[in-house]
């Protein structure tokens, strides 16, 4: 989380910025901690930084130190509705890279219009947690390679999770899969969070696009949530992904938030 609570000067002594570990920085003013900076490397290799400071001048000083200590490119994430935080990063040379829309997704099939739809001919849906581990991991690898070769995996919703080298799928029990004849062709990940389930990923093999498979997967997942008395789920979509935006907005998903990713190269 990035926070800028005021853009005014503190009116006191200049803060002293110290790197307290490989991934943490601290601002101290008059013997008080007035700001912190953190760095973390995501599974895709990108280095993200965040700063929490009570004053704009402290934010700027921490950012200056972190930029001097760390290699570029560097990335940061802010609430798209927070212009102060965006302006603070832009003062440090960051520019907007991508906007991720947040959606509240209804599960009621009467609202989504997915209740009466059947999967495309020859396609069946393997429910969450029932897909054999090996074929599921193979499908995940194929889809990741296809996305990376096209738009790049950074365009997909990012989860900052520890990931052993070579492991791309951490918990098979969260996935439902679309199977066409004897091949796995698409998947959806639903994370059963306490407050609200999260649709973390929906993807289909490139050679099976535009056949209604993603819509069938989404209908299956939302229908299961509805039967368990869950009224809505949460999803995030890259604004540049027109097909995904159309899919969610076409079933009545309501845009409620946005996350802006910035980069300094």
pLDDT in tens, 31-53: 899 999 999 998 678 999 999 99
Q: Is the pLDDT of residue 197 over 50?
A: yes
Q: How far is CA 221 from CA 84, 170, 199, 206, 244, in A?
A: 37, 19, 9, 21, 16
Q: Spell out the alpha helix ranges (H) of 122-258.
A: 133-149, 213-227, 242-250
Question: Strand locations in the chain, DSSP E?
Answer: 3-4, 16-21, 24-29, 32-41, 47-53, 74-79, 95-106, 123-126, 175-180, 183-191, 198-204, 232-238, 254-264
Mean pLDDT of 72-100: 95
Q: Is the pLDDT of residue 239 over 50?
A: yes
Distance between CA 175 and CA 187 in Å, rounded? 7
What is residue 201's DSSP assignment? Answer: E
Token couple for 204: 């289909």
For tokens 């679309």, name the residue: 178
Q: What is the value of pTM for the model shown?
A: 0.76
Q: Is the pLDDT of residue 12 over 70?
A: no
Mean pLDDT of 71-91: 95
For the chain, the average pLDDT equals 87
Token couple for 149: 């070769």
115 backbone dihedrals φ, ψ, rounded to 5°? -65, -40
Mean pLDDT of 84-109: 95
Mean pLDDT of 96-117: 92
Domains and their CATH numbers in the chain = 3-93 (3.40.630.30), 101-258 (3.40.630.30)
Mean pLDDT of 137-155: 78
Mean pLDDT of 157-177: 65
Q: Is the pLDDT of residue 118 over 90?
A: no
Q: Is the pLDDT of residue 162 over 80?
A: no
Q: What's the distance, Cα to Cα, between the start and end of the chain in Å?
A: 21
Residue 117 confidence (pLDDT): 79
Residue 168 confidence (pLDDT): 62
Distance between CA 235 and CA 33 in Å, rounded? 36
Token couple for 117: 């739809």
Cis previous bond, 199, omega within 30:
no
């Amino acid at each position: 989380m990035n926070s800028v609570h005021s853009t005014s000067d503190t009116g006191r002594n200049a803060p002293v910025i110290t790197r307290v570990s490989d991934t943490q920085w601290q601002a101290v003013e008059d013997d008080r901690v007035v700001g912190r900076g953190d760095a973390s490397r995501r599974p895709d290799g990108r280095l993200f930084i965040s700063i929490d400071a009570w004053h704009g001048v402290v934010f700027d000083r921490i950012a200056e130190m972190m930029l001097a200590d760390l290699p570029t490119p560097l990335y940061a994430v802010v609430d798209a509705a927070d212009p102060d935080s965006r302006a603070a990063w832009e003062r440090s040379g960051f520019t907007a890279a991508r906007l991720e829309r947040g959606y509240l997704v209804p599960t009621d099939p009467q609202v989504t219009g997915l209740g009466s739809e059947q999967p495309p001919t020859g396609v069946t849906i393997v429910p969450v947690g029932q897909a054999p581990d090996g074929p599921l991991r193979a499908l995940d690898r194929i889809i990741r390679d296809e996305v990376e070769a096209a738009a790049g995996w950074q365009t997909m919703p990012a989860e900052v999770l520890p990931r052993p080298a070579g492991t791309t799928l951490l918990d098979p029990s969260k996935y439902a899969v679309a199977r066409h004849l004897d091949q796995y062709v698409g998947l959806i990940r639903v994370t059963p969070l306490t407050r609200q389930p999260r649709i973390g990923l929906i993807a289909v093999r490139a050679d099976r696009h535009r056949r209604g498979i993603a819509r069938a997967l989404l209908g299956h997942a939302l229908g299961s949530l509805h039967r368990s008395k869950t009224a809505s789920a949460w999803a995030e979509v890259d604004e540049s992904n027109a097909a995904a935006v159309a899919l969610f907005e076409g079933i009545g998903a309501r845009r409620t938030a946005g996350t802006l990713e910035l980069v300094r190269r």
